[in-house]
Chains A and B, each alone.
Chain A
């Protein structure tokens, strides 16, 4: 199986990765020539970033569920693994996070050994890093005195220096030696902050310059790797805070500066095979202005989900379109994303046809699965035929770690993710999450019955589950839960709600 190494950089990287995990969990699959195994590598110096922690936890649960039930069950049908799982040595942490060395608790000047520099270099460094920023205690400090464990606080010039250690890391060496012909790389970053803006060109350059790196194997494959990237331009609003180094007014200036740099070093030199630009100038609900010292937990946003779709689109792009020679893309592709209606509360019908077709059924299936698990499972188990068919889904099963921790936590995160997107502005709100099950999808009503139409309810859901499970064999109760609910929700949504498959 070919692999897609996804480098998720900074807070936006983590949130896009979270969206991608949700899409894969829903059973959305790239319509590609070959199967891909996804290897996420999160790059963020800000270890206490809540977005990063949430994404790591989610990936962990995804991995446990798919390892337990296999990949042939509809939901969770794309393999996601850690880089550590691919290597024989135990040098890596086993998590999805790239371990940035010597960043925690260190000032930037200590990281670059400023005091060891001669006078001329000190003067040059002073000029290059002459600005001001804030520290964890919200005190104004010189750039050289920035403590980097809350990220690069919107300073890509610092980020580019620190992230350059990437090429000498164990992770990069393992990544390079496990990179095969046919594997691909995708880089997720934002352009208007610090970590992502610096990380994207740095990682891209290190991959394309692999031939000059004496520490790694597999250079040839890596240099001509098929690389895609999504770069998020400003897409959210933040609260005005004069004491914060993060200002909305800087977003455009920073984006322009970064794009100007990319013009020569990313797009201008054909380093990238497929680059997705995404942005939203809708001035919506502002996020709390948190440079990183309060954990940085931003609500999920539609743009992040659209960025995740870029990754799926990249996987659907045939190999012949992504030819690379001597580290240069032969026919680079640049894409943007659009929706059909400029709505501030996006429903499925507001999406373009491809996106709607890709998302509507599968996301609705997973939303329906979540609704059933949250609102009806406990009253159905040990009572309905589908539950008592072998292997039984009984109370013991719901007390087991697989359901109680992995599945429940994942579904709870999925619900949180949908709620956050629907509360955000612009909102992605295709579901009535709190309503009755017949109107769970906006603008649609589920009905059943040939002559007398009745509203779709949990009883009919149970009826469909029992019909589907009749005569079927499942390898375990865990596999039955995932496979049965995928098959049944697909049937329900196509026959009772009129969704297209």
Chain B
């Protein structure tokens, strides 16, 4: 699980938005700089990203499920909320660690790493929201939003 999320957030090594030190920290590199036995942030934040996006999807498509919130601009509002929330989560966690100095002293972390990870998490939440709302098999159970996607209605 950790490796899957790591690959995703590091964009399969192609264009990571933060340093490899931040990657190690998120993999759980412990404060004593010995092994990956610290908190596995990739897994935690990855799961929170999936859960929060699914929750927002469920709120719009199945819980509220209203004709007053089923147009494409409503989709974009939800997407923006998901994006912001996941950015904040992924930014805040390493940022707090950074401020507290609660990490291996050999790692060189700075605020741009926090922003980069926040952006990665936000982008993946956005992509995940697109995936679950574009697939008609998933949204067909909604009454009023079963045709709602990012491009229509």
| Residues in A lying within 8 Å of B, measured CB to CB | 382-385, 388-389, 459-460, 462-463, 466-467, 470
Contact = CB atoms under 8 A, between A and B. Distances in A.
17 contacts: A383-B70, A383-B153, A384-B70, A385-B70, A385-B142, A385-B144, A388-B152, A389-B147, A459-B66, A459-B68, A460-B67, A463-B67, A463-B143, A466-B144, A467-B143, A470-B143, A470-B146
Interface string B130-143: 00000000000011
A384 B146 CA distance: 9
B71 A385 contact: no
A144 to B, nearest CB: 68
B67 A466 contact: yes
Interface centre among B66, B68, B146, B147 (most CB of A within 10 A): B147
Given A388-B153, A389-B147, 13 more contacts: A382-B153, A383-B71, A383-B153, A385-B143, A385-B144, A385-B145, A459-B68, A460-B67, A463-B143, A466-B67, A466-B144, A466-B146, A467-B143
A388 B147 contact: yes
A136 B151 CA distance: 65
A467 B68 CA distance: 15
A414 to B, nearest CB: 26
A460 to B, nearest CB: 8
Contacts of A385: 70, 142-147
Contacts of A388: 147, 152-153
A463 B65 CA distance: 9
B137 to A, nearest CB: 14
B153 A462 contact: no
A441 to B, nearest CB: 22
A389 B153 CA distance: 12
A459 B147 contact: no
A383 B142 CA distance: 15
A380 to B, nearest CB: 8
A466 B144 CA distance: 6
B150 to A, nearest CB: 15
Contacts of B153: 382-384, 388
Contacts of B142: 385
A459 B66 CA distance: 8
Nearest to B144: A466
Interface centre among B71, B145, B153 (most CB of A within 10 A): B153
Interface string B49-78: 000000000000000001110110000000
Interface string B7-38: 00000000000000000000000000000000
Contacts of B144: 384-385, 462-463, 466
A384 B143 contact: no
Interface centre among A383, A388, A467 (most CB of B within 10 A): A383
Interface in B65-101: 66-68, 70-71
Contacts of B67: 384, 459-460, 462-463, 466
6 A-B pairs with the lowest CB-CB distances in the bound complex, closest first: A462-B67, A383-B153, A459-B67, A388-B147, A385-B147, A466-B143
Nearest to B153: A383
Contacts of A467: 143
Nearest to A461: B67
A103 B147 CA distance: 61
A297 to B, nearest CB: 41
Contacts of A462: 67, 144
A388 B70 CA distance: 13
A463 B147 CA distance: 13
Nearest to B69: A459
A379 to B, nearest CB: 11
Contacts of A382: 153
A466 B153 CA distance: 14
